[in-house]
Amino acid sequence: MKLEHITQAYIRISSAIKSTPVMTSQTLNELVNASVFVKAENLQKGGAFKFRGAYNAISLLSADAKKKGIVTHSSGNHAQAVAIVGSMLSIPTTIVMPKNAPQVKVEATTGYGATVVYSENSIEAREKACNELIEKHGYTLIHPYDNEDVIAGAGTTAIELVDEVGELDYLVVPIGGGGLSSGTSLYAKLSGKIRKVIGAEPEMADDAYRSLKANKLVTSHTPTTIADGLRTLLSERTFGYIRDNVDEIITVTEEQIKSAMKFYWERMKLVVEPSGAVPLALLRNNVSKFDENSRIGVIISGGNIDLTDFFHQL
């Protein structure tokens, strides 16, 4: 992929996306002795960065493909993004969701007008259900991350961050399927405006970390992390981009993720889901990895979290 693919994606989607704010915290800056810029994609349409890639990929489809409809598989945020774009562009939309998907994300997806089809919880089951729908109805698959146009759309997050705050020494991004880390690390290396990209991953879903160490794609994966959006495996495509452009992957514990969520909620008044808090967890617990007085970008990937139990207790 070339830099122009990401910059053209930004031009294509700019009128549809929200230009999400960049937040700062004096407490956080003092903790790491650096200037930290938090890109709040939890405030994006659909509550996650996923809207960027979904809109870019779907808007490029032919008129015939749009008429037949689109399908994807997702545990939540990509599902909502595709459902929103389908509604905006009047495209029939079907989402395959695992039975263990958070209810708040299921309800949001159907609320945007998509048809939800449930599958077993494994990636293989999701893909099988998608393939059966494609064969039966002629739908076009909008993959959550194994798609060049989705990756380019995700990369626009870094463009917007740099445009607002200037060049960065570090960018910390979460890694699940690898779409966001692929797109933003590509932009970093191709533009020269971000010196290093650090990938953040839960210890309990560390396939990207293990893949990078082994220099080959690790496919054995039984994640149980609270960060449900990061339970997916890399694809060969995203692994290749991450191997070539992400400087390091660091894992964090479940308690560190929860503590980062609490920090966002209490100190910055931001509702952040576990997956979105993983980069902050990395930063807070690995201060020595970052140069003093550096400029650090942190991406909150999403804010869709089920608060039903919390409100039931009130």
Catalytic positions are: 50, 75
List, edge to edge, every strand of the sheet that includes 115-119: 115-119, 93-98, 70-73, 140-141
Strands 295-300 and 35-40: parallel
Residues 6+ apart with CB under 8 A from 152: 1, 5, 6, 8, 9, 53, 56, 183
d(CA 195, CA 188): 7
Are 279 and 302 a contacting pair, CB within 8 Å? Answer: no
d(CA 151, CA 163): 19
Are 1 and 151 a contacting pair, CB within 8 Å? Answer: yes
d(CA 155, CA 17): 13
**Number of neighbouring beta carbons within 10 Å of residue 141:** 17
